[in-house]
């Protein structure tokens, strides 16, 4: 399998990194964190409306760019590297794949709006630590009159307060239906204060929420294979963001240790420091190869397994890279004036999104061991 990037892909990667280096640098990030809303609206307008990052994997017939998962991965790496406070993962990796899986005219209308930057999107998942987040577990829908009654708890929803579309998977008998809620539907998502100050998280209780028939975007349930593919893409995007996070934490560390002088020499010259940084670089190269390989894997089942492995590795590496950043920064690594703590907090938060490493490893074992016995 050839994982060499094309000239166009290299251009997309380099231009994304250049833009975010200027628009989402450390000072800009600290301003957003101190403001407390977890999003940079100006940066989001630039990448969603002017540059069309959300349109990357949307087909051209729906107003998108029509490129592949590799290009999406490159953008998510760049966003993770800078901890850019924008709802790109929620929109392009949660919302777009689920709308594509639905495949109805109503879903296509939303894809067209997202492609031109008219709306951000997210998916309200009852259990954000599930490896099958789109299966509707925890939320039920009951037909009543000319609409539906939604019931369930949504304790942790990413970027709900800035989304123009909130997709809610819900169970109707054995089928998974998907409802599209807009801010005008009366659904009240409450902003949460969490460890991660660079991404918005909200909560909502669906206590007999009455919604009209028009909010249901699917027709007679969403195909199980299509849902599984959407879940794989969501995890792939998150793994890419985690790889970028590790890269960003390492770059901060390398810059600091190359300038910090101790005992008359930079601490980067100490052999013990070199070994710790080299080990992270090797692990990051392995992770990026796995992510890029999964992005071009044609077989859905194999891609699901490769992405599960990538998520397990990415969660671990993002945590270790941010942990090393704090330790190798010494005393200042614990202060708010420096950025390592922001990377550490995002790594901790991402660890539990769409399944912990243990859950992804269990998933691989269940597919590889005889009779699915992962014990």
* Percentage of residues of the chain with pLDDT beyond 70: 98
In this structure, the answer to whether residues 233 and 354 fall within a common structural domain is: yes
**177, two tokens:** 């239906």
DSSP letters spanning 199-253: S-EEEEEEEEEEEEGGGB-SSSS--HHHHHHHHHHHHHHHHHHHHHHHHHHHHHH
Q: Does any domain span residue 266?
A: yes
CA distances from 211 to 151, 184, 205, 227 (A): 11, 11, 14, 23
Q: Are residues 107 and 142 in the same domain?
A: no
pTM (two decimals): 0.95
In this prediction, residue 370 carries a pLDDT of 72
Residue 1 lies in a domain: no
195 and 260, same domain (yes or no): no
In CATH, what number is assigned to the domain containing residue 324? 1.20.140.10
Taking only the tens place, the pLDDT of each residue in 125-183 is 999 889 999 998 889 999 999 999 999 999 999 999 899 999 999 999 999 999 999 98
Q: Specify whether 131 is located in the same domain as 73.
A: no
Per-residue pLDDT of 263-274, as tens digits, reads: 889 989 999 999
Q: Which domain CATH number covers 194? A: 2.40.110.10
Provide the pairing of β-strand 121-123 with 165-172: parallel
CATH code assigned at 40 = 1.10.540.10
Question: Are both 164 and 228 inside the same structural domain?
Answer: no
Q: Is residue 336 part of a domain?
A: yes
φ, ψ for residue 208, nearest 5 deg: 55, 45
Asked, for residue 2, whether it belongs to a domain, the answer is no
Q: 10 Å Cβ neighbour count for 151?
A: 16
Verify that 279 and 146 share a domain, yes or no.
Answer: no
The answer on 255 and 192 residing in a single domain is: no
Q: What is the mean pLDDT of residues 70-92?
A: 97
Structural domain includes residue 230: yes
Neighbours of 42 (CB within 10 A): 10
User: Same domain, yes or no, for 77 and 150?
Assistant: no
Q: Which domain holds residue 368?
A: 224-372
- pLDDT at residue 187, rounded to an integer: 64
Identify the pLDDT of residue 375: 41
pLDDT on residue 103 = 95
DSSP code of residue 90: I
Out of 215, 238, 271, pick the residue that ends a domain: 215
- Please say if the pLDDT value at position 257 is more than 80: yes
**Last residue of a domain, which of 152, 180, 215?**
215
Please tell me whether residues 197 and 248 are part of one structural domain.
no
């Amino acid at each position: 399998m050839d994982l060499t990037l094309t000239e166009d892909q290299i251009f997309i990667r380099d231009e994304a990194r250049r833009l975010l280096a200027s628009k989402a640098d450390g000072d800009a990030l600290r301003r957003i964190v101190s403001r407390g809303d977890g999003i940079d609206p100006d940066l989001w307008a630039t990448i969603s409306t002017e540059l069309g990052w959300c349109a990357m994997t949307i087909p051209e017939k729906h107003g998108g760019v029509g490129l592949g998962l590799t290009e999406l991965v490159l953008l998510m790496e760049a966003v993770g590297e800078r901890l850019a406070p924008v709802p790109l993962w929620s929109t392009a990796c949660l919302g777009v794949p689920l709308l594509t899986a639905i495949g109805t005219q109503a879903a296509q209308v939303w894809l067209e709006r997202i492609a031109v930057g008219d709306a951000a999107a997210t998916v309200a998942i009852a259990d954000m630590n599930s490896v099958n987040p789109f299966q509707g577990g925890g939320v039920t829908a009951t037909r009543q009159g000319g609409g539906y009654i939604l019931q369930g708890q949504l304790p942790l929803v990413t970027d709900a307060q800035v989304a123009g579309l909130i997709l809610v998977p819900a169970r109707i008998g054995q089928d998974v239906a998907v409802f599209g809620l807009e801010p005008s539907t009366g659904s009240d998502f409450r902003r949460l204060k969490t460890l991660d100050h660079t991404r918005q998280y909200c909560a909502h209780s669906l206590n007999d929420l009455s919604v009209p028939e028009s909010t249901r975007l699917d027709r007679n349930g969403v195909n199980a294979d299509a849902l599984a593919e959407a879940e794989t893409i969501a995890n792939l995007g998150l793994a890419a963001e985690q790889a970028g996070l590790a890269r960003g934490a390492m770059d901060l560390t390398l810059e600091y240790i190359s300038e910090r002088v101790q005992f008359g020499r930079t601490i980067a010259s100490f052999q013990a420091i070199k070994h710790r940084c080299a080990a992270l670089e090797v692990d990051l190269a392995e992770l990026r190869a796995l992510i890029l390989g999964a992005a071009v894997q044609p077989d859905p089942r194999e891609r699901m397994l490769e992405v599960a492995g990538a998520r397990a590795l990415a969660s671990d590496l993002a945590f270790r890279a941010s942990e090393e950043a704090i330790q190798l920064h010494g005393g200042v690594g614990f202060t708010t004036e420096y950025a390592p703590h922001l990377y550490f907090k995002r790594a901790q938060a991402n660890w539990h999104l769409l399944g912990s490493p243990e859950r992804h490893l269990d998933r691989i074992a269940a597919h590889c061991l005889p009779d699915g016995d992962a014990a």
